Structure 1
Amino acid sequence: MTTVEVRHHAMRIGGRDVDTSERHPILDPNDGSVAATVSIGGIEHVDAAVAAAKETFESGVWSAIPPQERALVMRRIAAAARAVADELIELELSANGATIRQATGFHIGYALAHFEYFADLAESYEWQRAAPISTFPALSQSVVHREPIGVVGAIAPFNFPLLLALWKVGPALAAGNSVVVKPDERTPLSMLEFARIAERAGLPPGVLNVVTGTGQVAGAHLAGHPDIGKIAFTGSTQVGREIMRLASGTVKQVTLELGGKGPTIVLDDADLDMAVDGVLFGCFVYSGQVCVSGTRALVPARLHDQFVERLVARAKTIVLGDTRDFDTDMGPVIGANQQARILEYVRDAESSGATIELGGHQPEGERFERGFWVSPTILSGVRDDMPIAREEVFGPVLVVIAYDDDDEAVAIANDSEYGLAASIWSTDNARALAIAARIQSGNVWINDAHQINCQVPFGGYKQSGLGRELGPNALDGYTEVKTVQLDLSAGRTAKPFGILLGHAD
């Protein structure tokens, strides 16, 4: 019997590989096998990484060079990563269960393109802005400067390990900061490799550090570390609240991209064939493990039965299988605990009166006895007060909710603690735009889903987050604002001081 060697990955701190005696197995969700092992970092490793980042920042080797030079290095990094994209794709899908199509296009393709966008911002960003000359209370000229914060902490989730890490690393580096990344302990492989690629391409050692470890230990310590000036986090709303609490101890800047329960509103004038495909795409991409997944389909009551029938028929054509097969449409979920959690939501909904129209179980067949699989699941008869309609399931589960008119559709869509993304399907652009204006969500797509454009801001309303990532102002959250004022009064006493000294004239 052939033994497959399992590669071990150390942390990257201060330009060196740092290992520990404690190792964590990375499981391939496709079949449950051990794909790799990684070091488990603790508090001392976070401290070492922050210290390395702080020393590098203060040295000026990255923070003090012109933004144009940072842009050049970042472009070299992107080119070097693109040259080994196949390796990054394999690292990604072996840890998080993405299909090879998804890993190629979304997980790695988007990540490198977006990193290049941040490099472009380093050149175009308004680092200094002169204010109008002031004549009161004294003749003066003010200049507003944007400067790097210092050391930035980035905590990335399991679902898009490299992409969502680079949404933080990219603007942080472009602004001149040093960074400490804490990936999800289940999916750190692509970020670890990216850090090594970055150093080989010219990023000074210590500017980008990666500490692998648990969220409860390494993540929590990073969020509260006194030498971290900014923490950026993507993950659940529950953990996001804890990140805010930990960050408040040193009043550091915080960006949070949190959960969602995306509504997909199908209007009665929609092209039903297009809407069916759009609803399924919006929900089942990456097995529903996307914060912007459209997991609530709001359908006109008079079209409900017909639409559900179409959804089920089309969803039956979704191909489950080996994640490395280009014919596979949908892969597994991240792990056994998540698989059990998803199926428990479905059982609870069924016991509360919902009807399982499709799925609701582990797929049948020997192929699916290994790994962490959940069939595409569609539920009808779902009430808006059911947990499955209100809580983020994070799996391939679509609930269909009937509504009577546009006002009710908007009310149901907004009746959520979340407000990250929504979709509207209609052949009447004016009507769809009018409804979009009423939706409490940071992102609203009309006749589309999952369209993440790096040139526009991304983020959520309500408990879906705080701040925005991407867009032309992406560097704002990774800079401090300093106003420098130069007195132009040529030595004349300024009026406020004259008043203070009793000789205002």
Structure 2
Amino acid sequence: MTTTAVRNFPMLIGGEWVESADLLEIRDPQNDELVATAASGGAAHIDRAVEAARAAFREGSWSQAAPAERARLLRAVAAKVGDRLDELVELEIMANGATIRQATGFHIGYVAPHLEYFADLAERYAFERPAPRATFPTLAQSTVRKEPIGVVGAIAPWNFPLLLALWKIAPALAAGNSVVVKPDEKTPLSTLEFARIAEECGLPPGVLNVVPGPGPEAGARLASHPDVGKIAFTGSTEVGREIMRLAAGTVKKVTLELGGKSPSIVLDDADLEIAVDGVLYGCFLYSGQVCESGTRLLLPESLHDEFVERLVERAKTIVLGDTRDWETDLGPVISARQHSRILEYIASGVEQGATLAHGGGVPAGERFERGHWIEPTIFTGVRNDMRIAREEIFGPVLSVITYRADEEAVAIANDTSYGLASSLWSGDNDRALAIANEIEAGSVWINDAHQINCQVPFGGYKQSGLGRELGPDALDEYTETKNVHLDLSGRRDRRPYDVLLSHVD
């Protein structure tokens, strides 16, 4: 009996593709089959990558290049990503279980336009600007410069492996930094192939390095490394706290995009057809494995029964199946560990008194006996103090909570340690905008969900994160600010030195 050989993906350090004795097994979540292996890096590999990145930064062919030249290369990479879209989509879905529709539209489909946006930013960003001329205590002119930090460390999650890595890689490169990326060990393939594309387009060796490996070893070393000037992380709030602690040892800059428990607030004047589909989309896209998923549905008591009936009937039409089939709506969750965790949360919801209105287990059928499948699940009768309402499940579980007045809806929405996103559903824009002003979240989408726009900042309040990604100021997170002061007074007697030193003829 022969078995089909799986492709192995080495790591990229200093322009060289490096093998490792330790391998990561990449398994397809829909059937748990081994589909690839990747070199697994540890602290020593991170050290090599940081050294290569630092050397590339000091060499200057990228860090000192004109912003327009950096923009040109980023656009070339974007074009090649577009040319190789199908290949990157396959590398993505074989590792993280996204459907081909979703990966083509979002996971990989967003990569080229977002990269184009950062190329545009590189050209129009104010890397240098004059300050107002000073006349006191002396005549002087200051110039404010934005300079690259040096070596940036990026730690990306498994749910949107390439896109969320790109949100760190692209602004870092646009600003002139070198980068070391630590992708999640379950999903490194698309990021490794992206790095190969970047080097094929002419990115100098060492400017972009990719080291997959376990978080406690490779990720921890990257976050604590003294030669890394900035760490950007997307992942759970628990790990984010540890990243922040590790980074504090060398007082490096940090951005964190962490967990969420986002509310979808339906007002009593909402268009129910739009709101029902929007709530399902907001919660169940990618099996709820999105940090800003709308996993708490806040319904007015007057609408509850009708809305839930519509919600359940519409949820029954969601098709689970082969992730490579364009007719499939929903794929598996990422891993056996996550599968067990989600089922435990569902059990806790029942134990604490919530009512299962739909789903709640593994779908029936031979196809679903292998892999990590969970039905779209809807709970009613949920209180906001239940575990399923308070803790991030990261699975296809929607908790329905009722309220009586707008003020109560706002109070419930804000009664969480998270604050990443929120959706509002209403036929009255003024009313919705007024409520949006009261919501403690980094993004509030009115009559929509999952609207990630690279032209506006994204990030969270409270324990959902620190700093912002995307938007016109994204390069600020990847630069240091320097003031260069030029004295224009000339003569000694026009300077305030006599505050300390008496003048001697």
Whether these two folds match at TM > 0.5 is yes
Q: For 1:389 and 1:493, how far apart are their aligned partners in 2?
A: 70
- Asked whether 1:432 is paired with 2:435, we answer no
Q: CA deviation at 1:502?
A: 3.5
The one-letter code matched in structure 1 to 2:444 is: V
The one-letter code matched in structure 2 to 1:52 is: A
The DSSP-based 3-state class of the residue aligned with 1:231 is: strand
The one-letter code matched in structure 2 to 1:76 is: A
The DSSP-based 3-state class of the residue aligned with 1:176 is: coil
Q: CA deviation at 1:495?
A: 4.1
Q: CA deviation at 1:127?
A: 0.6
CA displacement 1:257-304 (0-9 Å, x = unmatched): 000000000000001111100100000001000001000000001111
Partner of 2:205: 205
Q: For 2:111 and 2:293, how far apart are their aligned partners in 1?
A: 19
On the 8 A contact 1:287/1:395 being kept in 2, the answer is: yes
- Asked whether 1:299 is paired with 2:299, we answer yes
Partner of 1:146: 146
On the 8 A contact 2:78/2:111 being kept in 1, the answer is: no
On the 8 A contact 1:77/1:202 being kept in 2, the answer is: no
Partner of 1:221: 221
Partner of 1:8: 8
Aligned residue pairs total: 504
Partner of 1:374: 374
On the 8 A contact 1:232/1:256 being kept in 2, the answer is: yes
CA displacement 1:439-498 (0-9 Å, x = unmatched): 000000000000000000000000000000000000000000000010000224344212
Q: For 1:292 and 1:195, how far apart are their aligned partners in 2?
A: 27
Q: For 1:42 and 1:443, how far apart are their aligned partners in 2?
A: 36
Q: CA deviation at 1:5?
A: 2.1
The one-letter code matched in structure 2 to 1:464 is: S
On the 8 A contact 2:489/2:495 being kept in 1, the answer is: no
Q: For 2:390 and 2:276, how far apart are their aligned partners in 1?
A: 22
Q: Provide closer, same or farther for how the CA distance between residues 342 and 502 of structure 1 changes in structure 2, counting only shifts above 3 A.
A: same
Instruction: Give ranges in structure 1 of 5+ residues lacking alignment.
Output: none
Partner of 2:277: 277
Q: CA deviation at 1:113?
A: 1.1
Partner of 2:185: 185
- Asked whether 1:460 is paired with 2:445, we answer no
Partner of 1:251: 251
Choose 13-22 or 484-493, whichever is displaced more: 484-493
Partner of 1:65: 65
Partner of 2:328: 328
On the 8 A contact 1:336/1:372 being kept in 2, the answer is: yes
Q: CA deviation at 1:380?
A: 0.3
Choose 77-86 or 120-129, whichever is displaced more: 77-86
- Asked whether 1:112 is paired with 2:112, we answer yes
Q: How does 1:336-355 map to 2 (within 5 A)?
A: 336-355=336-355
Choose 27-36 or 241-250, whichever is displaced more: 27-36
Instruction: Please give the root-mean-square deviation of Cα atoms over the aligned residues, in Å.
Output: 1.0
Q: CA deviation at 1:3?
A: 2.9
Q: For 2:499 and 2:187, how far apart are their aligned partners in 1?
A: 64
Partner of 2:441: 441
Q: For 2:252 and 2:493, how far apart are their aligned partners in 1?
A: 39
On the 8 A contact 1:146/1:480 being kept in 2, the answer is: yes
Q: CA deviation at 1:85?
A: 1.0
- Asked whether 1:392 is paired with 2:392, we answer yes
The one-letter code matched in structure 1 to 2:41 is: G
The DSSP-based 3-state class of the residue aligned with 1:463 is: helix
Q: For 2:501 and 2:17, how far apart are their aligned partners in 1?
A: 63
- Asked whether 1:161 is paired with 2:161, we answer yes
Q: For 1:493 and 1:195, how far apart are their aligned partners in 2?
A: 58
Q: How does 1:75-154 map to 2 (within 5 A)?
A: 75-154=75-154
Sequence identity (%): 68
Partner of 1:450: 450
Choose 178-187 or 73-82, whichever is displaced more: 73-82
Q: 4+ runs of 1 displaced by more than 6 Å?
A: none
Q: For 1:362 and 1:53, how far apart are their aligned partners in 2?
A: 46
On the 8 A contact 2:54/2:178 being kept in 1, the answer is: yes
The DSSP-based 3-state class of the residue aligned with 2:306 is: helix
TM-score normalised to the size of structure 1?
A: 0.99
Partner of 1:419: 419
Q: CA deviation at 1:21?
A: 1.1
CA displacement 1:33-66 (0-9 Å, x = unmatched): 1110111111110000000000000000110111
The one-letter code matched in structure 2 to 1:385 is: D
The DSSP-based 3-state class of the residue aligned with 2:24 is: strand
Instruction: Give ranges in structure 2 of 5+ residues lacking alignment.
Output: none
Q: For 1:276 and 1:212, how far apart are their aligned partners in 2?
A: 40
Q: For 1:116 and 1:56, how far apart are their aligned partners in 2?
A: 24
Q: CA deviation at 1:2?
A: 6.2
Partner of 2:310: 310
Q: Provide closer, same or farther for how the CA distance between residues 315 and 2 of structure 1 changes in structure 2, counting only shifts above 3 A.
A: farther
Q: For 1:209 and 1:494, how far apart are their aligned partners in 2?
A: 52
CA displacement 1:221-247 (0-9 Å, x = unmatched): 000000000000000000000000000
Q: For 1:2 and 1:404, how far apart are their aligned partners in 2?
A: 64
Q: CA deviation at 1:115?
A: 1.1
